[in-house]
Amino acid sequence: MSILITPKTKIIVQGITGDFGGRHAKLSLDYGTQVVAGVTPGKGGQFFEHGTHKVPIFNSVADAAQATGASVSVIFVPPPYAADAILECVDAGLDLAVAITEGIPIKDMIRVKRAMQGSKTRLLGPNCPGIVTPGNGKDSSGGCRIGIAPGYIHKQGHVGVVSRSGTLTYEAVFQLTSKNIGQTTCVGIGGDPVNGTNHLDVIKLFNADPETHGIILIGEIGGNAEVEAARWIKANCTKPVAGFIAGATAPAGRRMGHAGAIVGGAEDTAAAKIAVFKECGIEVAVTPSDMADALLRSAKAKGVTLT
């Protein structure tokens, strides 16, 4: 089991004919992911070819979904057009839209998020690495890789990972896999201040997933999403949880690469978030090198087997 996606999930790639989208569509196909359609307006009827794969391209998400039965789309569309691309997924009634695009204006996302209220579509991102449910083949192939994460660092198993940061997620996954601990699903929720799915949404899904035995929660400075998730964990989650907060050394008021990573006040500093983690029974990773070990400590304390 896994959350949000399974190895059988059929996906659409919006922006498949671009360099970035095309490169990652190929990597997903190599991983064994069911990339069943591409969307590039004006290129409908053409094909995206890679090895023995021949993926049909459509003019719209609705056409692609109808023709292929795909329920998820991944968005590699440039920032000025990305908000529109997300809304197209909502209109097509998809279950999940994963927006990889970095640099979407905040106002566009404010409007998109409002427009998505009441729709059945969940948004992951934007400015996120995507989501991976590892498979059981060589280097975890045969799984569902949506986005830009390196597939081979994963391993099928029982730990859920949720993070705002791409490379920090890879770091955590790599530590787990190196210790022979597999993952159910690894979710990147993105580094922007307005995003579709937050830490708590993902934590709830992991908590409800019987195959997920432990969770790594990676956050950073800015906002209070991590604090909200931590308080919910304290009240509702009995699974071992390890947490890490990046940005202890960040100066106040400066944007650290991620638009969301700005320390606003006393409440959203790394120190404040770490204090809440501890208070909520989350095992804090003292350094980023300690994320997998922190989860192992928590699992041991709770008598839970992660492998």
Q: Which of 193, 214, 240, 243 binds other proteins (CB under 8 A)?
A: 193
Q: Which is nearer to other proteins, 1 or 286 (CB)?
A: 286
Contact assessment for residue 2 and residue 209, using Cβ atoms and an 8 Å cutoff: yes
Instruction: Decide if residue 114 touches other proteins (CB under 8 A).
Output: yes
* Separation between Cα atoms, residue 75 and residue 24, nearest integer Å: 11
Q: How many residues in total does the chain contain?
A: 307
Beta strands at 53-58 and 47-50: parallel, antiparallel or unpaired: antiparallel
Q: Which of 1, 106, 271, 301 binds other proteins (CB under 8 A)?
A: 106
Q: Which of 84, 107, 208, 236 binds other proteins (CB under 8 A)?
A: 107
Size of the site for other proteins (CB under 8 A): 64
Amino acid at the residue 272: A
Instruction: Decide if residue 187 touches other proteins (CB under 8 A).
Output: no
Q: Cβ of residue 79: shortest distance to other proteins, in angstroms? A: 6
Catalytic residue list contains 50: no
* Separation between Cα atoms, residue 112 and residue 104, nearest integer Å: 11
Q: Which of 244, 282, 284, 294 binds other proteins (CB under 8 A)?
A: 244
Instruction: Decide if residue 257 touches other proteins (CB under 8 A).
Output: yes
* Separation between Cα atoms, residue 25 and residue 50, nearest integer Å: 9
SS3 content of the chain, % helix, strand, coil (to 5): 35, 20, 40
Instruction: Decide if residue 119 touches other proteins (CB under 8 A).
Output: no
CA distances from 223 to 130, 156, 195 (A): 21, 32, 12
Instruction: Decide if residue 218 touches other proteins (CB under 8 A).
Output: yes
Instruction: Decide if residue 62 touches other proteins (CB under 8 A).
Output: no
Amino acid at the residue 260: G
Task: Phi first, then psi: give them for residue 186, nearest 5 degrees.
Answer: -115, 120
Q: Cβ of residue 187: shortest distance to other proteins, in angstroms? A: 14
Interacting residues toward other proteins by CB under 8 A: 27, 79-80, 103-111, 113-115, 148-150, 152-153, 163-171, 174, 191, 193-194, 218, 220-225, 244, 246-251, 253-261, 265-266, 270, 286-290
